[in-house]
Structure 1
Amino acid sequence: MTITQHPSTRTLAVAAAGLTKTYGSGGTRVEALRGVDVGFEAGRFTAIMGPSGSGKSTLMHCLAGLDTATAGSIRVGGREITTLDDNELTRLRRDQIGFVFQSFNLVPTLTAEQNIVLPLQLAGRTPEAAWMGHVVDVLGLGDRLRHKPHELSGGQQQRVAVARALLTRPDVVFGDEPTGNLDSRTGAEVLSLLRRSCREMGQTIIMVTHDPVAATYADEVLLMSDGALVGALTDPTVESVAAALTGLGA
Structure 2
Amino acid sequence: MTINTAPAAVAAQSITKTFGTEDTKVAALDDVSIAFRPGDFTAIMGPSGSGKSTLMHCLAGLDTVDAGQVAVSSTVISGMSDHDLTLLRRSHIGFIFQAFNLVPTLNARDNIVLPLDLAGAKVDEAWFDQIVDTLGLTDRLTHKPHQLSGGQQQRVAVARALLTRPAVVFADEPTGALDSNTGAEVLELLASSARDMGQTIIMVTHDPHAAAYADKVVLLKDGAVVGHLDDPNADSVLAALAELGE
Report TM bin, short chain: over 0.9
Post-superposition offset of 1:83: 2.1
Aligned equivalent of 2:170: 174
User: Hey, what does 2:82 align to over in structure 1?
Assistant: 86
C-alpha distance in 2 between matches for 1:173 and 1:125: 19
Aligned pair partner of 1:239 in 235, 238, 242: 235
User: Within the alignment, does 1:34 sit opposite 2:12 as a pair?
Assistant: no
1:110 corresponds to: 106
Once residues 195 and 125 of structure 2 are traced to their aligned partners in structure 1, the CA distance between those partners, rounded to angstroms, is 21
Do 1:155 and 1:182's aligned partners in 2 also have CA atoms closer than 8 Å? yes
The reply on whether 1:205 has 2:185 as its aligned counterpart is: no
State yes or no: 1:148 paired with 2:153: no
Question: What is aligned with 1:196?
Answer: 192
2:44 aligned with 1:48 = yes
- Checking the alignment, whether the CA contact within 8 Å between 2:10 and 2:36 is kept in structure 1 is yes
Deviation digits for residues 205-231 of structure 1 (CA, Å, limit 9, x no counterpart): 000000000000000000000000001
Cα deviation digits, residues 184-221 of structure 1 (max 9, x gap) = 00000000000111111110000000000000000000
Partner of 1:4 in structure 2?
A: none
- Opposite residue 70 of structure 1, the aligned amino acid is D
Q: Deviations over 1:27-72 (max 9, x none)?
A: 0111000000100010010000000000000000000000001110
Query: Percent of aligned pairs with the same residue?
Result: 66
Q: CA deviation at 1:241?
A: 0.2
The 2-side partners of 1:46 and 1:147 are apart by 32
The answer to which of 206-215 and 17-26 deviates more is: 17-26
Structure 2, unaligned stretches of length 5 or more? Answer: none
TM-align CA RMSD: 0.9
Question: Which one-letter code corresponds to 2:15 in the other structure?
Answer: L
- Match 1:21 to one of 2, 17, 26: 17
SS for the counterpart of 1:185 is: helix
Aligned to 1:229: 225
Q: Distance in 2 between matches of 1:52 and 1:10?
A: 33
**1:187 aligned to which of 167, 183, 189:** 183
Q: Secondary structure at the match of 2:18?
A: strand
Aligned-partner SS, 1:46: strand
* Candidates 158, 161, 168, aligned match of 1:165: 161
Using the alignment, how far apart are the partners of 1:238 and 1:193 within structure 2?
18
Q: Secondary structure at the match of 1:143?
A: helix
Question: Which residue in the other structure is 1:119 paired with?
Answer: 115
The one-letter code sitting in structure 2 at the alignment partner of 1:110 is L
The question of whether the paired residues in 2 share the 8 Å contact of 1:13 and 1:204 is answered with: yes
Query: How far did residue 92 of structure 1 move?
Result: 1.1
Counterpart-to-counterpart distance in 2, 1:242 and 1:199: 24
Matches within 5 A, 1:4-15: 11-15=7-11
CA shift at 1:24, angstroms?
A: 1.6
Query: More deviation in 220-229 or 126-135?
Result: 126-135
Query: 1:11, 1:181 → 2: CA distance?
Result: 34
Give the counterpart of 1:58 among 51, 54, 58: 54
CA contact (8 A) 1:46 1:220 kept: yes
- Are the aligned partners of 1:98 and 1:165 in contact in 2 as well (CA < 8 Å)? yes
Q: What letter is aligned with 1:85? A: S
| Aligned AA (2:212) | T
CA–CA distance in structure 1, aligned partners of residues 6 and 105 of structure 2: 43
